[in-house]
Amino acid sequence: MLLSAAGAVSAAVDAQTLTPLTTDQYVPFERVQNTRDLGGLTTEDGRRVLPGRLYRSGNPAFATPSDIAKLQAMHLDVVLDFRADSEKQPAEQAFAALFPWQADPVLAGNLSPGAIVPMLKRSTPAQMHQFMIELYRQFPGTYRAQFARFLKLAEDDKTMLYHCTAGKDRTGFATVLLLSALGVDRASVIANYLESNRYNAAGNAQATAQLQKIGVAPDVVAPLLAVDPDYISAAMQVIDQQYGGMQHYLVDVLHVDVERIRRNYLGPATQPQD
């Protein structure tokens, strides 16, 4: 999400409530973290998300030549960036010129390192945890136009990669909406969201060590770098309580054609074995 490498942290997840599920496919890159193909996830009616159409990731702008070749082989119609200009560096323009890269910022305050680091230095772990909860509570309402436009790309049958910085918060919430529109059950959607802790662990450890050198305690930065059930629950609670549940939110608030999205990205229902 906010810092480019994220900590060796893991959310306190109740393993009994999140059953291991068939989930997306990790796509390894040299310098693009947390990249996953949503293909393979199963919907409640037994259909599977088609591979090679929907990708989520952290910031791809510093991809190596090998990474770029791999991304070009995906034949992407759009690379959607949820970051604001304050979070980007001039060197990223070289990548942007190679791909159909478009920005639609989801920004809760100034999320640039220049703003985040001073906040970390003056905060407690509890305050950072609450900061993240409040950020997630803003997603469904304050940024519904951005997420509606994201889902419109899915309606238009785009092969896309969408990202923020670490591919976990703004990208994570976008994925929750997309998978819900596709008909994936809530437990699987949440399990998919929480996997960012695993895929960002190495980068998180690096970021934690770097920030510790400048006076940021590891336990303070941990809530910023992790995904946590409390965070996504805060966003889902807003959707359930203020908008009447996920399907009402998608159809009546974001005006999403869920059937069209399903036609675009789902294969046929799997047949039971004799």
* Contact (Cβ atoms closer than 8 angstroms) between residue 39 and residue 175: no
Which amino acids are annotated catalytic?
Answer: 164
> What CA–CA distances, in Å, run from 57 to 71, 102, 111, 215, 243?
11, 15, 18, 29, 28
Gap between the Cα atoms of 24 and 195, Å rounded: 10
- Burial class from Cβ neighbours inside 10 Å (0-12, 13-18, 19+) for residue 240 reads middle
Alpha helices by DSSP H, 105-244? 113-121, 125-142, 144-155, 170-182, 186-194, 196-199, 201-213, 218-225, 229-243
Q: If you search the block for the tokens 């510093």, which residue do you land on? A: 62
Query: How many alpha carbons lie under 13 Å from residue 206 in its C-beta half-sphere?
Result: 10
Classify the phi-psi angles of 183: left when phi > 0, otherwise alpha if psi is within -120 to 50, otherwise beta: left
Gap between the Cα atoms of 52 and 229, Å rounded: 28
